[in-house]
Amino acid sequence: MATVRTGSNLSQIAASLGVSAATVSNALSGKGRVSAELAEKIRATAADLGYTPSLTGRALRTGRTGVLGLVLPDIANPLFPQIAQAIEFAASNAGYGVLIADSRGDVAMQTEAINRLIERDVDGIIIVPRRGTRIADIGCPVAVIDSPSTPGNTVSADHWQGGQAIVEHLASLGHRKFLLIGNNPASNVQNDRIGGMKSRLPEGAHADVLWIERHEQTHGKGSLLGLRQKADEGFTAFAAVSDLHALRALTELQRAGVAVPEGGSVTGFDDLIWSSAVTPGLTTVRMNMTEIAEIAIAALVRVIEADPVSSSGIPRTATGTVAAAGRPGVPMQLVVRQTSAPPPPINRA
């Protein structure tokens, strides 16, 4: 519908100048082969006519649509806004559009979502998988944003280092008894975060891990996590692998009369929208989504554009995954919102 917009196309510019469409194309794309004066005249006319190229026409000719697909299997993912924004920004800067596909939380529907994108001729796909789902080799370049522990991963935050930053901070405040709160023991991301946290426990410190999924299997969905009792047992640092779990911990503690942060500190991950809205704010650690998105898009674009379209318009056959070999995770940044020292050990069990 470029023609709807502007009413102008290559042929019209060509006609109005008495040159050929090919020359206009060459001039506009700066592919040389056109004298400076003529090129200038062509550009001026194009601007006059408000010409914008039809990406559809170009796509049909070149075999590239200039569109990337974004797949987030875990729909309700509260990181979605951050991710989508960063990806769209990076893609747009690289000259690509972003088509979304949703698998409605159903891992099995992931394939279907991907197929919808492929049918629309996307040049590449960005996937943010959940629970370490492996992405089958589809006939299209793919960038996976997950944890460095995920095979085939392209880029990710350094979740391990994020965990270290959290525990270092809590330890420096004086905390020695940590309750690490996770949701899903099968998640690479969560395991990296917890691993990092454990790796920085100070001398003589103690850490337990509370897996909510397991807890709810015995205590029922949405049940209390028993944090009051944990506090009574002397736990003072409640470090969750996500802000959502941190929020759950914070409100449960407050509801049970444990003052936060004086009676216990609560930390999360990802700096989601509510982390700064609650009282007290959550100490957390944030990903550099801008950089992660840039790396993912750059890797994808490299594969897409490195594979030259055959001169006769025969489409390229690029497939497979962008290699991530040895790429370190992108560092996470600590956001401190609670700075109280733990209560004196007198209170502890």
Partner DNA sequence: CTGAAAGCGCTTACAG
From a copy of itself, DNA, none, interface partner of 11 (C-beta below 5 to 8 A by class): DNA
The single residue among 118, 207, 209, 336 that binds a copy of itself, judged by CB under 8 A, is 118
Burial of 331 (0-12, 13-18, 19+ CB in 10 A): middle
DSSP class of 155: B
Token output for 311 = 């001169």
**Can you tell me whether residue 101 is helix, strand or coil?**
strand
From DNA, a copy of itself, none, interface partner of 344 (C-beta below 5 to 8 A by class): none
3-state helix, strand, coil in the chain (%, to 5): 45, 15, 45
Binding site for DNA (CB under 7 A): 2-3, 9-11, 18-23, 25-26, 28-29, 31-35, 38-39, 51, 53-54, 56-58, 60-63, 309, 311-313, 315
The single residue among 280, 333, 340, 343 that binds a copy of itself, judged by CB under 8 A, is 280
Q: Does 88 bind a copy of itself (CB under 8 A)?
A: yes
Q: Does 1 bind a copy of itself (CB under 8 A)?
A: yes
Q: Which residues, at least 6 apart from 208, have a Cβ–Cβ distance to it below 8 Å?
A: 178, 179, 180, 235
For DNA, give the closer residue by CB, 54 or 288.
54
Least Å distance between CB 149 and a copy of itself? 25
For DNA, give the closer residue by CB, 33 or 104.
33
Q: Does 78 bind a copy of itself (CB under 8 A)?
A: yes
Angle at CA of residue 107, ends 106 and 111, nearest 5°: 110
For a copy of itself, give the closer residue by CB, 114 or 165.
114
Least Å distance between CB 39 and DNA? 7
Helices (H), 151-256: 159-173, 188-199, 212-219, 227-232, 243-255
Distance CA 206, CA 201 (A): 7
Q: With beta carbons less than 8 A apart as the criterion, state whether 285 and 333 touch.
A: yes
Output the CA–CA distances (angstroms, integers) from residue 232 to 183, 253, 258, in the order listed: 23, 11, 10
Least Å distance between CB 42 and DNA? 9
Residues that bind a copy of itself (CB under 8 A): 1-5, 52, 54-57, 59-60, 63-67, 70, 75-78, 80-82, 84-85, 88-89, 92, 97-102, 104, 116-123, 139-140, 222, 224, 244, 247-248, 250-252, 254-255, 259-260, 273-274, 276-281, 315-317
